[in-house]
Chain A
Amino acid sequence: MSTPAKIYGPPKNLARRKFTNSLMITLCVVAGVVTILPLLYIFFYTTKSGLSSVNIDFFTQLPKPVGESGGGMANAIVGSIILIGLGSLVGIPVGILAGIYVSEYSKSIVSTIVKFTTDVLSGIPSIIVGIFAYGIIVLPMKRFSALAGGFALGILMIPTITKVTEEMLRLVPQTLREASLALGVSRWKTSLFVVLKTASSGIITGILLAIARAAGETAPLLFTSFGNSFWQTSIDQPMAALPLQIFSYAISPYEEWHRQAWAGAFVLIFLVFVVNLLVRYVTRSKYGAS
């Protein structure tokens, strides 16, 4: 073994290389810490400023006019729920069907196109989707409505759901599909009742993720659902939503409204955090071994 040593010899610049090594690795660790800091800060700050204003009133009362204290965002919370419900009606079926198509029929060119388009769609700014919903729903109806807002949220949910569905279906072993087909079950029934059912828990977590994301979307609602400071539950009327309310309170000059906005922000962050934790827990316990 002495020959190679003779050829290469001891590296002259070893000290410098070792130094670069430690430096770069330290920098990577620093980068990691730097990235986490804003998260912790945002989290901490929102909790601090928001928690004190989160109370029963916040969930049950309507907004009060400027100057009066108290009040809540009950209408916005209900509005958000309705909007997300409408969005789910659009987003979940389309997203799942597209996911099935991409995963189960992956040989065709069409499915490659569908896959590519959903990937690109996920990068389209949400405000553009808002304009789209404005163009095809608000303009013909001649007024802002929850319907348009829900539609926009639905479109935004599609890429997430499609992606998760596709990934979960790919985890289903091929032998199960063959088992079903070998019983003389048709292709689409196999996809729907065997494959989809097997992957259902994973897909449900994906839907939760999409919902959590839609719950925080603001931009597309600005000129579709528009916002409303009163109780409003009919879907052809403008409707309040939590993020919209946060936005309009945040840019207002009133201290009391800021507090309310922080409370709303806290509720949103809390929702995002819980859903992500849940998703992580579920996917872990199921696929952790692999």
Chain B
Amino acid sequence: MTKVHVTTTVNGDTVEFLADPRETLLDCLRDHMGLTGSKEGCGTGDCGACSVELDGTLVCSCLVLGVEAEGKTVSTIEGMANGSELHPLQRKFIEHAALQCGFCTPGILVAARKLLEVNPDPTEEETRYWLAGNLCRCTGYDKIIRAVLDAAAEMRQEVA
């Protein structure tokens, strides 16, 4: 199939790539841009391991076509830290041992960042429902939820 030239912005950088119209945004990120931090766990939008923001909307990048990124802004796990300074969520995930194998972690961090953007003071239940689309098979979610709530508390203090 004839490839389509796509120009988009990923983590602040302008990037261009040729996409087969059948390829997902996830495939394009991973295979054309070398951004392998977003993971494919299911390819059907059920596991959330490929979570990215597309023009500020949290999406499963396995459910978006690469050509749909034309002219848009994509932010992935690779752009979450500010240089060498980790985002508070990233730091809290390490401190709380909120990852075991770490495969679901990029997607959960991207989804949790969006949660704290729209709701800086979520309850445990709100956090659990927000992250219900991000599967983790290792942790039982306990330490993930604690890390998100702790990061939220820290970020609120910074703002204050």
Partners in one complex: no
Binding site for B on A (CB under 8 A): none
